[in-house]
Structures are given as C-alpha cells and as structure tokens.
Structure 1
Amino acid sequence: MAGDDPDSQLMNYLVRMVVPMRREFGRHLDVGQFLHDFAYAREVLDEALRSQDPRLLDYAKYVERRLHGPRIADTPKVPSPPAAAEPAAAPPPAGGPTAEELRARVLKKYTSGLR
C-alpha cells in the first residue's frame, strides 16, 4: 500500500466516509462534488469533524490534511544531494544504513532522473 498514488488514497478515504455520513448525519456525500467544490467539501468536513464515530473522525482528519494542501504532507522530504564544494558526509553508523537512509536512496533513483 505504501506505493499507492496519494490521489487514490484520498479517494479511498472519501468513499469510506459515505456510509458513516449517511448513518450519522443523513447526508449523501457526493465524492465528485466534494473534489471539485471547495465550499461543499468544507461543509462536509466540518460536519464530519463533529462526528461521534471515531472512524469517521479519523477519515475526516486525513482528508482535511490532504485535500487542499500537500497531498503527502506527512511524508519526510528526501535530502538533497550534497554540493561538490561541501565536505563528504559522515560515514554510516556501524550497524549499516538506517531504514530512512535506505528509503532516501530508493526515492533518489526516481527523483534524480525526472525531466
């Protein structure tokens, strides 16, 4: 799931909100309108954030964080490569590279070749 497109992840959470919104508030959530009408989206989110259903609250918080801002806001940024004039980076810890360093290496392969 880690490789999911952030837009499809957002759509997944919106679809999960449909039934709880209908049960708790009697509101039909139109996903298409939600994605294209800021006022409608804000109204739905405001209502969902008042929910007594913990799952709906979690879905609404996730959607709110990603809808009108960076879609992958809580993903750490990949460090930029050091400039040629800078001294070499410190050697990796004795235990080998950390999971974050390995992830950065993998992501660098995909971001360094972009046109």
Structure 2
Amino acid sequence: MGAEEQDTQLMNYLVRMVVPLRREFGRNLNVGQFLHDFSYAREVLAEALNSQDPRLLEYARYVEKRLHGPRIADTPAPPPKPAAPDSKLEAPKAAPAASASEEELRARVLKKYTGGLR
C-alpha cells in the first residue's frame, strides 16, 4: 500500500466515526479540523476510546495508530521478490563503459524490445 492509499484509508475510518460519535456522544466530528488540529484530534480520540460501541472503538484504535507518526508502521514490508532464472531474459549489465560507442548503446536498448516476449 502506498502513502496515498494509507491516507485514503485513514480518511475512510474518520468518516466512519462521524455517525457513531454523533449517536453516542452527540459530537459532530469535523474531519478537516481533526487532521490539522492535534488537540482536537486527541480530544475526539479520547472520547471515542471510551465508547461502548465496538465498531467505534476499532476505528478509534486504528486512527490513533496511524494519525501521528508512520501510518504503515505495523504493516510488514513485502518480501523482495527473488530473481527467477530465465534463459530468455538477460541478466542486468553493469553501467556501460566510457568507451562504448553510441551504436553499441543503442543496440543494447533496442535488444530488450526485440529479444523479450510480448
């Protein structure tokens, strides 16, 4: 998940918190203010964490983890993909030497388009 997806996910949880907060505490959650005013955010989260509604508690815990600090801290990084040995694909070459001519460089670039599968 990229940063934009994490921001979208955080916004999604905040919007989901609006109705339960209004029902249980009579509080109108201003999402824009929540994202920019840390004292307001702490106040709302403290109230939400005292809720009897399990959904609101879940949303509040999620938002609390990701609001201040790394938003993907508990999401493990995907393991690096091992390079599969494929006889049809060339191994990446080192940077071209200074003596390589323009024609050799062009041939290397064009080879990946003509030599690979389409």
> In the alignment, what sits opposite 1:57?
57
Structure 2 Cα separation of the partners of residues 105 and 16 of structure 1:
36
> In the alignment, what sits opposite 2:81?
105
Moved over 3 A (4+): none
Structure 2 Cα separation of the partners of residues 27 and 61 of structure 1:
18
The 3-state SS of whatever aligns with 1:5 is helix
CA-to-aligned-CA distance 1:14-66 (integer Å, 9 cap, x gap) = 00000000000000000000000000000000000000000000000000000
Contiguous gaps of at least 5 residues in structure 2: 83-118
Rg: which structure is higher? 2
The 3-state SS of whatever aligns with 2:66 is helix
One-letter code aligned to 1:28: N
Structure 1 Cα separation of the partners of residues 23 and 64 of structure 2:
20
Contiguous gaps of at least 5 residues in structure 1: 79-100, 107-115
TM-score by length of 1: 0.65
Counterpart mapping for 1:31-42 below 5 A? 31-42=31-42
Structure 2 Cα separation of the partners of residues 53 and 11 of structure 1:
20
TM-score by length of 2: 0.64
Structure 2 Cα separation of the partners of residues 12 and 62 of structure 1:
11
The 3-state SS of whatever aligns with 2:81 is helix
Taking only aligned residues, the RMSD between alpha carbons, in angstroms, comes to 1.8
> In the alignment, what sits opposite 1:68?
68
